[in-house]
Each structure stands twice: as C-alpha cells, then as structure tokens.
Structure 1
Amino acid sequence: MVLETYMLGGDLPVRRLGYGTAQLTGAGYWGPRGERADAVAVLRRAVERGVTLIDTADNYGPGIAEELVAEALHPYRDELVVATKGGVVRTGDSAWHIEGRPERLRAMCEASLRRLRTDRIDLYQLHRLDPRVPMVEQLGVLDELRAAGKIRHVGLDSVTAEQLTQALTLTSSIVSVQNRFNLLDRESAAVLKVCEAHGLAFLPWFPLANGVLTGEAAAALDTVAGRLGASRGQIVLAWLLAWLLHHSPVLLPTPGTGSLAHLEENLDAAALRLDASDTSLLDALADSPA
C-alpha cells in the first residue's frame, strides 16, 4: 500500500490511512471482542500493510485495546506512531463519565504509559473536554506531561470550532483534532476549517458510518461500488481520501475493525480512484454541506 504521508506535529511522518482499535473490544467498547490472538493478528497485519498510525484509547475495554497494541507491536518500530486518549472513565458498557481534573488526567496518562509499555506517548488526545474544569487547567496538565517527556504531542477529541480556537490561545502543544466526520455527517466542517488554517491534523471518527448508510445514500454508494467492483465501505473510504486530495490536506482517516478480511478491504480502498461524477454524487449526500 502506497499512500501519501502527513507530517503529524511537524516531526512525525504517518501514512494517510491509519488504524483505529475500538473494534478490537466488545459491544459498547466494553470487554474483549473475541480471541486475543485474533486481535493481535489484525494489529500486526495492519502494520505489515504499511499502516504507521495506530489510534487507541484508555477506555476501550477499558484498558484492553492499549494492552493489545503493546502485545502485538511492542517493541515499536521507529516509524510507528501510537496515539491514545484519556479523559473518559467507564463504569459499564453504556456508562461514560467525562473526567478532566488535572490529577485524574495525570493518572490516566501514567496508566496508558504502563499499558503501552512506553516512556512517551506520541500523541495524547483529550477524549472530551470536561465542562466542570476550566479548559486552561485541563490543557495545562497535558503541557506539564509534555514538558516532562511523557507526551510528545497533544490532541483534542469532539470539540467545537469555538472550543478549538480557544484552546489554541492557551497552548501551542495541540497538533490534531478527532471529531465525527463522514459521508453523511459533516457537522464538524467548521472544525476542519480551523484545523486547515492552523495546520492541525483532523482524524475523522466513525469514518465508515456503519449501519446508517440507507436509502438514497445506499443507492448512490451501490452505483459507484458497482462501477468500481468495490464494497460500500471501500467507496466511503475512497470518498474520504478523495476529499483529502481535493479539499482538505489535513485529513487522517483511521478506520477500525476486528476482522482481518475487513482490514484488508479497508486498506485496499486506498487504491480506488473516484471520478468527478462519483465524487459529485457522493458529495451531495451530506445533510450539512461542508
């Protein structure tokens, strides 16, 4: 797989199509998905296929996804970039609690370092901003961890354009944002514009829009997929990569899966080329134009 690279944070070259680990865990990102050996095989195959950006989080499992990354890939290759997240505490398969107190964020980062078996996390993302804690305090502790060598770069997850703009006035450590963005949901287009203006990577989560591609969207995808001999998921990824080439050079999709076959399918999408009529048809599907 040959993909253009992106310089994350100005010093970490990564391939444009990464891999997300959420699907290595069970329903609701809680507990194991299946056999541990299968998850390890998927991670190793992703790297064999040329993936250099692995995106995970401490609450996937919780803890399970990070442990799997270390089991499969440690010691890490020099070119491999591992990103993780902290700031959300899980107490059940449908229970998510935002936690942004500095002492808790510091403890979460230390726990991720242990599970990932590393001295420094390449990209540490604040999974959610805690509305109960001043933003300057949440970002401040991440800056402290960066100064201590525990974190190389800082990212934010699920923020508004206004929050991102404010955060950029408080710290220069932010190099990325991870927001929901896909063929049908482009509500984060304003955030993407801020990322473009400041040279920040944008990692779209839920990029395949699994389970919501119905009606007009499904018909349009089937039309393009039939012409190219591809699956719907491949066309969605190909559209994101085409968007990257024609609209936004900062996009870094990290689709996830727990299946080797689906992994191969996702990575093969990088070779698909949509023509102007394809992209025009797919661009028109979004409820909120970008």
Structure 2
Amino acid sequence: MTLPLPRQRRTLGRTGLQVSPIGLGCSGFWGHRRFAEGAAGRVLATALEQGVNLLDTGHNYSGFNAEPRLGRLLAPLLATCPREQLVISSKGGTLTGQAGLGGTEQRDFSPAAITASCEASLRNLRLEYLDIYQLHGIGEHQITDELLGTLQRLRERGLFRHLGINTHSRGTLDWLAANPTVFDVVLLDYNLLQQDRAAHVAQLHEAGMGVLAGTVLAQGHLLPYRPRLPALSDAWYLARAWLKPSSRRLMRSASKMRRAVASIASQAPAQTAFAYVLQHPGIAAGIVGTTRTESLLQILATDPCLLDAADRARLVAVFGDGRGSPSV
C-alpha cells in the first residue's frame, strides 16, 4: 500500500523532509478516551486517504492517551505501507496530561526525563524512530549543554532523526533566531490573530529551520459561531477556551477578525485562515486537529491562491488596527 500524493509537498527546512501542506494534529479531544477510537480512526484514515503524510502528537497529549491511540491505529497501516512515506512527530518534557486552571503545565527537561519520555513515545507509537522529536514548551534558559548532549546521544541511538521545539514563547523564538543551527524544526503559534509571528517565521526559515504552524484557527476563535446540537467534543474545546490564558487572550481579540474572515467569499472561513498562514513562504505546513471528518475535508481543500492580495491586505489591516493579539 502507498499513500496518495496531494497536489504538492513542501520541504521542511534543512531536514529535507517532504511534508503535506496540512498536517493532522493527533491530540486534543481526538485522542481523549471519551472520544470513540473508531471515530478517531476514521479521521486519521480520511487524512491519509487525502494525501496527508505529516502526523503530529505529543507524549502528554489527551491525558497521555493520544500517542498509544495513534500507535494502535497506525499499526495495521505500517504493516503494508512503507514507513518512510509518513513524517511522524512527537514531543517530550511535559509531565501533566493537560494544563491546570491557570494554564500552567509541569515540565521536566532533565536528561533522565527526556530520555524516558522519548523511549516511551516510541513504545506508545510502536515505532523504531520518530522523524521529528520536539521539546514541548521549553524556555530558552532551560536549553543546556547537558540536555543537548543527551539529545544528540538519543539521535545517535536512532530514536529520532530531526530535533525540534514546540514553543509559544517570543523569548524562545529569539533564542532560536540567535542559534539557528541547534534545532532543525520549530512548531509555533501563527494565525490571523498573531500575525506578528511572521517576522520570526521568515527569520527562522531563512536560517534553514523547518517551520510548522499550530493554532492556525486560533483555537477556534476565527470560526463563526454556528447553532447546532452540542457534542461532548464541543464542551471539551469550550472549556479549554475559557480555562487557558492563551486562549482567553485570543478570544478577547477575535470578534472583529472573525467578522472580517467571514466576509471573504472566496472560501469558507477555516480555509481563509489556513490560506493566510500557508501563503507565508516560510511555512512548510499548518497543523489541524479535529474530531469531524467533514471539517477536515474542508480544510484539506484549502487553496491558498484563492486568498487574493486585496482580501489579504484587509485581514492585515484588521490586525494592524490595534485589536490583534500580540504574541508573547
């Protein structure tokens, strides 16, 4: 079995990996034990059938259930599909299965903890190696020579091929810009409410790093509110939106941008949000997480070219009027 090719692949910086412009985030309610595994499998199968080859997860995601679930779902596929057709990324360093009420998570980037986490990820995912191993939410002052030496030994053991960071911190991004050869990949938050991330994206891309965009839909705050029968997943994502400080910041700045996105007729709002991000030449892929195959199919049908210069300028102007959400 081989995966169907999408209309294009993009090169992920110096890694040389060829990734689909939209990757599937195997996290959130998708990985939660309360979400049926069969339904999660249908979302994954739909993504793969549409040519998605980039799968992103994390050791602590979904109460530590996302990795084992993804491993179980991938096992029959990898029995017949060449492993090199997939780009699988996971993360380590976070000890809690979800953020607390204050939005904080306990982290441990000690060599022993990172080694144990990386080895556990491979067991959970039933893989011999990860294409990308990311440090989850590490601060610039936590990047030590001891940690980097440990990561190099893990790479030499063949546990992962490329090293990355997943961060929402401007300080960490500044550190990466000053030290662009230490890590190969960065997954950062970039969306219409955080357009000021564009400068970091360009700087890191030009230095050879592969740049992935997360929170492209600003944790759902860019989408119009639609009346419908609530699902358990809706309640889970709503609770996250209210409890996480980063999500509340996006929520407060979203109303005018949400109206501007909805007014663009060339595509659906979710597609417009992805088109904006994918038009940045430094972005290799945007990551989407969902429990609905219809939502996934809509986003996978995004055509960045349909967001014309005039509409893009309008979205930039809405952010520039001072009501955007400056990235921290």
Query: TM-score, with normalisation over the residues of structure 2?
Result: 0.76
Q: Confirm or deny that 1:231 pairs with 2:268.
A: yes
The answer to which of 280-289 and 145-154 deviates more is 280-289
Q: Report the equivalent of 2:286.
A: 253
Q: 1:277 aligns with which of 297, 310, 328?
A: 310
Distance 1:3 1:131, change over 3 A: closer
Greater helix proportion: 2
Q: Report the equivalent of 2:25.
A: 20
Q: Report the equivalent of 1:266.
A: 299
Distance 1:17 1:210, change over 3 A: same
Deviation readout 1:144-194 (Å, 9 max, x if unpaired): 10011111000011143332145446x3xx211111110111343343133
Deviation readout 1:18-76 (Å, 9 max, x if unpaired): 111123447xxxx4241111011111110110001101101112331112222222315
The answer to whether the Cα contact below 8 Å between 1:6 and 1:15 also exists between their aligned partners in 2 is no
Q: Confirm or deny that 1:70 pairs with 2:75.
A: no
| Secondary structure of 1:263 counterpart | helix
Q: Confirm or deny that 1:84 pairs with 2:90.
A: yes
The answer to whether the Cα contact below 8 Å between 1:164 and 1:191 also exists between their aligned partners in 2 is no
State the AA in 2 paired with 1:113: L
| Secondary structure of 2:294 counterpart | helix
Distance 1:87 1:33, change over 3 A: same
Q: How does 1:171-210 map to 2 (within 5 A)?
A: 171=182, 174-210=183-219
Name the CA distance, whole Å, in 2 between partners of 1:60 and 1:146: 23
The answer to which of 85-94 and 260-269 deviates more is 85-94
Name the CA distance, whole Å, in 2 between partners of 1:91 and 1:60: 6
Q: Report the equivalent of 1:6.
A: 11
Distance 1:117 1:8, change over 3 A: farther
Q: Report the equivalent of 1:120.
A: 129
Shift of 1:132: 7.2
Shift of 1:8: 5.0
Distance 1:276 1:130, change over 3 A: closer
Name the CA distance, whole Å, in 2 between partners of 1:249 and 1:93: 30
Q: How does 1:158-169 map to 2 (within 5 A)?
A: 158=167, 159=169, 160-168=172-180
Deviation readout 1:199-237 (Å, 9 max, x if unpaired): 21111111111343343212211211xx22x32111101
CA root-mean-square deviation: 2.4
State the AA in 1 paired with 2:73: A
| Secondary structure of 1:69 counterpart | helix
Shift of 1:86: 0.5
Distance 1:92 1:19, change over 3 A: closer
Distance 1:165 1:86, change over 3 A: same
Q: How many residues align?
A: 276
Percent identical among aligned pairs is 30
Structure 2 unaligned residues grouped into runs of 5+: 1-5, 223-253
Q: Report the equivalent of 1:61.
A: 62
Name the CA distance, whole Å, in 1 between partners of 2:34 and 2:120: 22
Q: Report the equivalent of 2:278.
A: 241
Distance 1:280 1:93, change over 3 A: closer
The answer to whether the Cα contact below 8 Å between 1:176 and 1:195 also exists between their aligned partners in 2 is no
Q: Confirm or deny that 1:38 pairs with 2:39.
A: yes
Shift of 1:241: 1.8
Q: Report the equivalent of 1:216.
A: 256
Query: TM-score, with normalisation over the residues of structure 1?
Result: 0.86
Shift of 1:133: 4.4
State the AA in 2 paired with 1:81: V
Structure 1 unaligned residues grouped into runs of 5+: none
The answer to whether the Cα contact below 8 Å between 1:81 and 1:122 also exists between their aligned partners in 2 is yes
Name the CA distance, whole Å, in 2 between partners of 1:175 and 1:167: 11
The answer to whether the Cα contact below 8 Å between 1:40 and 1:71 also exists between their aligned partners in 2 is no
